[in-house]
Structure 1
Amino acid sequence: MINQQSPIRIGIINVSDRASAGIYEDIPGKAIVETLNEYLLSPWEKVYAVIPDEQALIAQTLIDMADDQGCCLVITSGGTGPSKRDVTPEATESVCNKMMPGFGELMRATSLAYVPTAILSRQTAGIRNQTLIVNLPGKPRSIRQCLDAVFPAIPYCIDLLEGPFIDCNEDVIKVFRPK
């Protein structure tokens, strides 16, 4: 178990050619931080990156956050569509020991209630050693919808990985832990 006195470390990666070049504001990354601030009662600190859609760089950043920065959770936004430059799921799969396809299935099912193009999204999740990696879409509204859907399972998944106990604001998000 990680020392409870230390803040939980959560990695946030916005995968975007334009945001990394300063052409677009990093709205997706800020949306993740805002959502986590609402969800979490446990003290936490972000490990943050805005990087271009380059598979090797995404993989390297995921490895750094998981192995070197000690993040129990890494959340990415962007790079999950069908275009040639969308390679976040491939980078995630390349660094994970186990894939967690239920996350992507639930996110797509949730998004389908809002837009028919949700079937084009390739969100996924996986585990690298003791770190859960979750790939979200890049649109801020979709980020919140997807996190609201999957986050109830995330603290228990991190428990199973022998990570830190994550205490959440039950008025905002109801997490599930078996008794």
Structure 2
Amino acid sequence: MWRVGILTCSDKGSRGEREDRSGDEIRRMVSRMDGEVIRYEVVADDLDIIREKLVQMADEDQLDLIVTTGGTGLSPRDVTPEATRAVIHREVPGIAEAMRVATLKKTPYAMLSRAVAGTRNTTLIFNVPGSPKAVRECLDVVMDVLPHALETLSGRYGDHE
């Protein structure tokens, strides 16, 4: 069982003005890979708060995977990628690149995503956009490789066979 955190970054969601359907979609999809959501939070689009929550989830909660949703676009309040870059130790660019390439076939707006992915100690962290449809399309791209990534990151799988 993989320990998963969901961090929804949304000003309206944090004020209770919008239901978080994207977080629900992440929860549904990670259950397919034997992921159990241990921590779920909705926070404002605030760089310091997002950084703090990511560090807390990775270091204190020792989650295997953190998926953020929202804050990946071009709005001045969209700071999730910057917060993620500030806390990761190593980037894993292929995850975000693969999501952009695949979803670009469905919508030209995919090229506007600034999502990033990386690791902090043994936690994989990556960003997906804030709509349930985009969450589903992005996670469909990476879902099959996530267990291998988490096994490798946790030391359960080392040598390539």
TM-score with structure 1 setting the length: 0.84
Deviation readout 1:64-123 (Å, 9 max, x if unpaired): 000001101000000000110000000000001001111111111111111111111111
1:46 aligns with 2:3: no
Q: Which amino acid aligns with 1:101?
A: P
1:111 aligns with 2:103: yes
Report the Cα offset of residue 153 of structure 1.
1.7
CA contact (8 A) 1:12 1:47 kept: yes
Report the Cα offset of residue 45 of structure 1.
3.6
Gaps of at least 5 residues in structure 2 are none
Pairs aligned (count): 160
Candidates 36, 41, 65, aligned match of 1:73: 65
Q: Which amino acid aligns with 2:7?
A: I
Residues 103/97 of structure 1: CA separation in 2 closer, same or farther (3 Å cut): same
Q: What is the SS of the residue equivalent to 2:45?
A: coil
Aligned partner of 1:169 in structure 2 is: none
Report the Cα offset of residue 44 of structure 1.
2.3
Aligned partner of 2:29 in structure 1 is: 35
CA contact (8 A) 2:30 2:36 kept: no
CA contact (8 A) 1:76 1:134 kept: yes
Q: What is the SS of the residue equivalent to 1:47?
A: strand
Aligned partner of 2:121 in structure 1 is: 129
1:23 aligns with 2:32: no
1:96 aligns with 2:88: yes
Aligned partner of 1:3 in structure 2 is: none
Q: Which amino acid aligns with 2:110?
A: A
CA contact (8 A) 2:4 2:35 kept: no
Residues 94/120 of structure 1: CA separation in 2 closer, same or farther (3 Å cut): same
Gaps of at least 5 residues in structure 1 are 1-6, 166-177
RMSD: 1.8
Report the Cα offset of residue 157 of structure 1.
1.3
More helix by share: 2
Aligned partner of 1:157 in structure 2 is: 149
